[in-house]
Amino acid sequence: QVQLQESGPGLVKPSETLSLTCAVSGYSISSAYYWGWIRQPPGKGLEWIGSLFHSGGTSYNPSLKSRVTISEDTSKNQFSLRLSSVTAADTAVYYCAGQSAVADNWFDPWGQGTLVTVSS
Partner 1 sequence: QSVLTQPPSVSGAPGQRVTISCTGSSSNIGAGYDVHWYQQLPGTAPKLLIYGNSNRPSGVPDRFSGSKSGTSASLAITGLQAEDEADFYCQSYDSSLNVIFGGGTKLTVL
> What residue ranges bind partner 1 (CB under 8 A)?
36, 38, 45-48, 51, 59, 61-62, 95, 100, 103-104, 106-113
Compute the least distance from the CB of residue 40 to partner 1, in Å: 8
* Contact present, 53 and 71 (Cβ < 8 Å): no
84 vs 93, beta carbon nearer partner 1 = 93
**Closest CB 16 distance from partner 1, rounded Å:** 26
Closest to partner 1 by CB, 16 vs 58, is: 58
Of 2 and 74, the one with the shorter C-beta distance to partner 1 is 2
Q: Report CA torsion sign: 9, 20, 110, 67.
A: positive
Could you tell me which of 65, 66, 73 has the C-alpha nearest to residue 48? 65
- Strands 11-12 and 114-118, how do they pair? parallel
Least Cβ distance, residue 34 to partner 1 (angstroms): 11
What single DSSP character describes residue 88?
Answer: G
